[in-house]
Amino acid sequence: MMMEPTVHAKNPLARLPAGAWLMLLLLGWLGNAQAQTADPLPSWNDGATKARIVAFVKAVTGPGGKDFVPAAERIAVFDNDGTLWSEQPMYFQLAFALDRVKALAPQHPEWKSKQPFKAALEGDMKALAAAGEHGLLELVMATHAGNTTEEFAQIVRDWAKTARHPKLSRPYTELTFKPMRELLDYLRANGFRVWIVSGGGVEFLRVFAEDLYGVPPEQVIGSSIKTRYELRDGKPVILRLPQIDFIDDKAGKPVGIHKFIGKRPIAAFGNSDGDFQMLEWTTAASGARLGVIVHHDDGEREFAYDRKSPVGKLDRGLDEAARRGWLVVSMKNDWRAVYAGAP
């Protein structure tokens, strides 16, 4: 009995006449209806590609449908380089390694005459390529190991603040793909959990993944070097060692997915033959599955490359996509915008 007047006094809406109430209800309903029909993928042009992605999401989320998948099993995996951000003219992490060689050079006078460091210091990409996989590995070990995990993350964060893409002259953090970020949000809004499964180094990528993609560290899988737990002046640290632990590329991607997630994804997104087995593993199981290849065919807005590119080579994937039911996204035709810009 006491409550009625108290409630009314505190709630200004309670003083409105009945007609106004109805109008508010209707406005609420309209707002809701609009939110439900708003395009979740505005940077994707309307057409078969977008329609297929939306149809897949509707199929696995529609309760009672034959393709319904419970939320706990709605796992989507995304490659990073070339799928969520650019990878030309070189992987961003390689640019970091080269900058790091320059920063460390004063402590290593021998690098001036020793390959692959000499090539890195001189920006001689030809000599760097000639150093091959072994040379690249040497470069990675010299620039990615020898510090603690916290020190390394700080070095990467500091680098990202000033580093600029060599051709686009923009911070690397502005070069994520807007349509793909919308896709991440769209999937999450539909109960998916999203993992990044990258051939790149996991501790490099974790520095960016949460800010740029909303993907927390525990949902980033990547290549790694070994680490060791030890005490430094009585305080525990995790030290990064110059030894490969895991290469999360090609057949390593399903292995990494199984190791970290322990479940098979229902959707996989990649752009190169390094993602082939991840798409194969994802789409080989029964039920509704989505395999997507982002095809870099937009030389004007981004970079055009595929079968013959040393970075992000896409050859077998293009040959087999149709037969395997994988969706090939044309960046040129399917994307209204390319870059997301500043985070």
Q: CB of residue 251 vs a copy of itself: minimum separation in angstroms?
A: 4
Binding site for a copy of itself (CB under 8 A): 1-4, 18-19, 22, 25, 72, 149, 202-203, 206, 216-218, 220, 224, 227-230, 235-236, 238, 245, 251-252, 254-255, 258-263, 277, 280-281, 284
User: Least Å distance between CB 210 and a copy of itself?
Assistant: 9
Shortest spacing between CB 141 and a copy of itself, in angstroms: 18
Residue 137, Cβ density class (10 Å: 0-12 exposed, 13-18 middle, ≥19 buried): middle
Q: How far is the CB of 21 from a copy of itself (least distance, A)?
A: 8
DSSP, res 45 = P
The tokens of 139 are what?
């470069």
45 vs 149 by CB, closer to a copy of itself: 149
Cβ proximity to a copy of itself, 135 vs 317, nearer residue: 317
Residues 6+ positions from 263 with CB-CB distance below 8 Å = 73, 75
Q: Which residue has the tokens 């990258």?
A: 198
C-beta of 4 vs 133, nearer to a copy of itself: 4
3-state helix, strand, coil in the chain (%, to 5): 50, 20, 30
Nearer residue to a copy of itself within complex by CB, 125 or 239: 239
CB of 281 to a copy of itself, least distance (A): 5
H/E element, 295: strand 290-295
Nearer to a copy of itself, 90 or 237 (CB): 237
Q: Which one, 18 or 342, has the nearer CB to a copy of itself?
A: 18
Put residue 19 in one of left, alpha, beta given phi > 0 → left and psi -120 to 50 → alpha: alpha
Q: Quick check: helix, strand or coil at residue 81?
A: strand
Nearer CB in complex with a copy of itself: 142/207: 207
**Of all helices (H) and strands (E), which one includes residue 51?**
helix 48-61
Instruction: Tell me how far CA of residue 169 lies from CA of 53, 90, 175, in angstroms.
Output: 33, 14, 10
The β-bridge relationship of strands 75-78 and 267-270 is parallel
Q: Least CB distance from residue 79 to a copy of itself, whole Å?
A: 16
Q: Do 39 and 188 touch, CB atoms closer than 8 A?
A: no
Measuring CA to CA, which residue among 304, 276, 306, 99 is closest to residue 199?
Answer: 276
Closest approach, Cβ 253 to a copy of itself, in A, equals 8
**Are the C-beta atoms of 295 and 331 separated by less than 8 Å?**
yes
